[in-house]
Structure 1
Amino acid sequence: MMAKLRTITGSITPWLIAFTLCVSFMNSSAHVGLTFPPARKFDLDFLDNIRTKPPCGMPRGTIKTSLVSGSTFNVTWHLSYPHRGGYRLELMDSQERTLLDLTPKNGNESFIKGNP
């Protein structure tokens, strides 16, 4: 089965130089592997919030992505197989505070459920 690649486009806040993109999960309903920007340490798509610590399932690594302030960027991730799970993508600063929620809103849900 071919893996799907999804893309979201957003813009960077003026003071943002470097960022860490994290995938947050609720009740282990989601998991993906980041392809750009690179994952914190490993590009694993099986991390969940039951067996791993928030916000991203693993500690920060040495990989950092720097972007030009005000520029546009594409976030891409890989889902190994469609499994009616879900996802939530957030842009976070170095103190792990959410700067930008990249998850499309679906009612009052804080993450996308099912196969969008």
Structure 2
Amino acid sequence: MEESKAGDLFAEGVVKHYEPELKKVEKQLNELTSKQSSLLKELQKENVKFSSIDITELTSLYQMMKEYHCRLIAMKKDILAAAERSEKLKNRAMKLKEYKQNIALENAHYREAQMKREQDLIGKPGQPL
């Protein structure tokens, strides 16, 4: 009898020692099971969506994607060409502006030299000839 009492006490002690941790593990397992079932339901919904998609619709969407991709590439080329032309025009305008400034400067020097020559030819008033 004493052996059975000791066995009962030992069993009770083991249960008390491991019971809180086992309950915690049980709770975690229940949470995982519920999450797994919700994920399974979502996967089934997604499978239904994919199975109901029409192949011709996918093919037409793919063709549209190809077409729009080609259009984007063409637009990119056009934009790059326009940017290059714009840069060339800016450079040309800058060179033309510099050229005109140089011409204006030369003209100003020429006029100044002409005026000085005329002044030298006319002579200064008050100077005897």
Structure with higher Rg: it is 2
Work out whether the TM-score is over 0.5: no
Higher relative contact order (CA 8 A, sep 6+): 1
* Band of TM-score, shorter chain: under 0.3
TM-score by length of 1: 0.12
TM-score by length of 2: 0.11
Select the structure that is richer in strand: 1
